[in-house]
Amino acid sequence: MSVKVLFVCLGNICRSPTADGVFQKMVSDAGLTKRIQIDSAGTANWHQGRAPDPRTVAAAAKRGFGLSVLRARAIKQSDFDEFDYILAMDEANLADLHSLKPADYAGHLGLFLAFGSQNGYREVPDPYHGGNEGFELVLDLVEDAAAGLLSSIQQKF
């Protein structure tokens, strides 16, 4: 059994690549890279082909997560055929994903932080227009939810 996970935010240069990189490392550390495939996308195509925001890359690197190889892409209809989990960073992106979702999609479509233990947050806040502390908060929330997601997937193996 293999599982495919897609993380989605608006532009795919801050939050979803952070989730992608953090989860990639956790999956690798757990020895599950052959069983869990990971990608990220945005609901908007503004940054198509671009690397993650340099502030995102720097904050992640300080914690040992490499994001520099990732490139932004937009969500596509075929993602609903390919991915078992499509996880939005916030309600607005989740609503956009629901509007694109085919009626026969049988995977899990929901908020990423539903897998976390941070009771004060339902959404991963967008750090793009703020200071460096926003990128640190994103990493805190993402690390927590990624651990919960990995545990949930492992229970299905």
Total domains, the chain: 1
Full DSSP string of 73-97: -B--TTHHHH-SEEEESSHHHHHHH
pLDDT average, residue stretch 67-96: 97
Q: Which domain holds residue 55?
A: 3-154
pLDDT score at 132: 82
pLDDT score at 67: 94
Rounded Cα–Cα distance for residues 131 and 141 (Å): 16
Listed in sequence order, the DSSP H helices in the chain are 15-29, 54-62, 79-82, 91-100, 132-154
Q: Which of 3, 15, 50 is nearest to 123 (CA)?
A: 15
For the chain, give the number of residues: 157
Catalytic pick from 14, 15, 20, 96?
A: 15
Rounded Cα–Cα distance for residues 77 and 103 (Å): 12
pTM for this one?
0.96
pLDDT score at 131: 82
Active site residue 15: yes
Catalytic pick from 20, 39, 79, 126?
A: 126
Q: What is the CATH number of the domain that holds 49?
A: 3.40.50.2300
Catalytic pick from 9, 20, 53, 90?
A: 9
Sheet order of strands, 36-42 included: 36-42, 3-9, 85-88, 108-111
**Each residue's pLDDT tens digit, 110-149:** 999 999 998 899 999 999 898 888 999 999 999 999 999 9
